[in-house]
A and B are shown apart, each in its own frame.
Chain A
Amino acid sequence: CYLLHAAKPFDFDTSTGLTDEQKEFQKVAFDFAANEMAPHMAEWDQNEIFPVETMRKAAQLGFGGIYVRPEVGGSGLSRLDTSIIFEALSTGCTSTTAYISIHNMCAWMIDTFGSNELREKFCPDLCSMEKFASYCLTEPGSGSDAASLLTSAKLQGDHYVLNGSKAFISGGGDTDVYVVMCRTGGKGPKGISCVVVEKGTPGLSFGKKEKKVGWNSQPTRAVIFEDCAVPVTNRLGSEGQGFNIAMKGLNGGRINIASCSLGAAHASVLLARDHISVRKQFGETLSNSQFLQFKLAEMATRLVASRLLVRQAALALQEDRPDAVSLCSMAKLFATDECFSICNQALQMHGGYGYLKDYAVQQFVRDIRVHQILEGTNEVMRMIIARDLLTES
């Protein structure tokens, strides 16, 4: 079909509009993804391996604390730089990159809201991934209604004593540093504080490792506090600021998760394109089918649209613009939905092969399915956006 040969090839270029420096960051991330992650993503998924050594290699390149300040070991880059990096890494293994992004979010929270002592105590090890972190907000009784969380933190002398449990914690049980939102005051968001709890603290234990559809290269467990005493000096920010800190962390987290979805979709579109260029039925390659050509065009268009929105949201966040929170929610909502649909269609284009674990596309589908759910469900994203639209300013 002449359509495929006439024009210059669109190499699904992800680097248009980036600075030279950003292109360099992206190149390192793509190379690392292709060489260190992609060859192992299936094994990590099937054997549920938490790839500590590979993540530490990534940390050596500066990926452990990408937007953490350099004086405590971070790379001091912008939210847009971060989005570009996670998008590229995600093409190698979405599940592992998603965990790295959660780890980064926790490191940033400590760097931004922790005392200098806390920052110096935790950030260098987190940036080097000598230690790993987990973000603990969700509970069995409070998911979308996060502000109704029940884990209590009663002040006793110079310690908070924590009681309660967190659910679905990424990295839980294998990580070393837990950033925990807990109730130090009354009901609602203003009664919540944020404390850092270290593994090994008496009273900290973990539930069984969950069996998941995807994200299998990171363990997920309940985190249980039974009279777990945490120094008051481990608190981030002030009492009652915890919910605010958690949400600020999630704004960035949402861009990161959306970026991971972009990477998975990008990889899937390339896989689908390559497959239909080779697979023949009815005497010709599938790429000669106008239906599939149109489908591929739609997938690519929606991927580019998602990418533009995510990068704009990143810019808005790093410039602290008034519309940043809404944009981050919009980006997370749009990109995770669109990219799941794209990966799913890429699987469909593979026919029966798409359903086999020998082919990577099914893992991208399974891994990004959860992006529509965590870090705020896409329903909650709509709540945030609607509230913003309907509130009189």
Chain B
Amino acid sequence: MAARVLVGVKRVIDYAVKIRVKPDNTGVVTDGVKHSMNPFCEIAVEEAVRLKEKKLVKEVVAVSCGPQQVQETIRTALAMGADRGIHVEVSGKDYDSLGPLQVSKILAALAKKEEASLIILGKQAIDDDCNQTGQMTAALLDWPQGTFASEVAVEGDKLKVIREVDGGLETIKINLPAVVTADLRLNTPRYATLPNIMKAKKKKITNVKPGDLGVDLTSRLEVLRVDEPPQRQAGVKVETVEDLVGKLKEAGRI
């Protein structure tokens, strides 16, 4: 029985917003743009809260890394039923270059500090689509991982995880402590209720600095340029199959 679950929640640009690239091509416009909790993180929070409601875990701790604004995201997790939050303060250039490697180092350190026995994350964030943090965190902790989970069941001191993979569904059994990453069909996240939003105000969010966790935030990656995807070009109509094959050969496709 996992006593404490850590759930990572990331503040990202809302999925419905039309993304625009900054004029200097260094990134996308985030100022004044609507942000929300990454949808896969919502699913992760929901799963953790359900485990608590089934009395399979004792405490759900929501974690987010970033500047002051990420506290909104932690509050949303608290309103969904997480017990307390941890805000890992990262801002400025460090935040701009924050990626899966640094976040997984932070999560690994927190998992040890908080004596967590389960970490649930979204499978990927909708801004960078990295799909790496869960896997890296498991590696750093030397814990088993159940990624792309569409179902999670506790069986004694093990987890049965059904994973969505290209070939279909794969069922694995892993020992606790473990890292699980949530896929789309794992659950449907609940709405926060008005009473829970008010209760969330009283739940604690502790602030932590990456340095306190012994984590080095230096990025090994440098973003050179960000561009819009190329405009979709008009197609060409062909008369016969021979024409089609000819055109494909011309374009070097076959």
Q: Name A residues whose Cβ lies closer than 8 Å to a Cβ of B.
A: 8-9, 11, 20-21, 23-25, 27-28, 31-32, 60-63, 66, 70, 75, 77
Contacts and interface: CB of A to CB of B under 8 A. Distances in A.
A47 B198 CA distance: 37
Closest A-B pairs by Cβ, 8 of them: A62-B194, A75-B194, A24-B197, A61-B193, A62-B193, A28-B191, A28-B192, A61-B191
B75 A24 contact: yes
Given A8-B31, A11-B34, A20 B194 contact: no
B194 A77 contact: yes
A31 B191 contact: yes
B32 A28 contact: no
B194 A66 contact: yes
17 contacts: A8-B31, A9-B32, A11-B33, A11-B34, A20-B72, A21-B197, A21-B198, A21-B201, A24-B192, A24-B200, A27-B192, A28-B192, A28-B194, A61-B193, A62-B194, A75-B194, A77-B194
B191 A32 contact: yes
Contact of B195 (A8, A9, A31, A75): A75
Interface string B184-215: 00000001111101101100000000000000
B145 interface: no
Contacts of B33: 11
Contacts of B38: none
Interface in B209-233: none
Given A20-B72, A20-B75, A25 B194 contact: yes
Contacts of B197: 21, 24-25, 28
> Which of B34, B191, B201 is packed against the most chain A CB atoms within 10 Å?
B191
B162 to A, nearest CB: 26
A28 B193 CA distance: 8
Contacts of A32: 191
B181 interface: no
Given A8-B31, A11-B32, A21-B201, A63 B194 contact: yes
Nearest to A15: B34
Nearest to B17: A11
B72 A62 contact: no
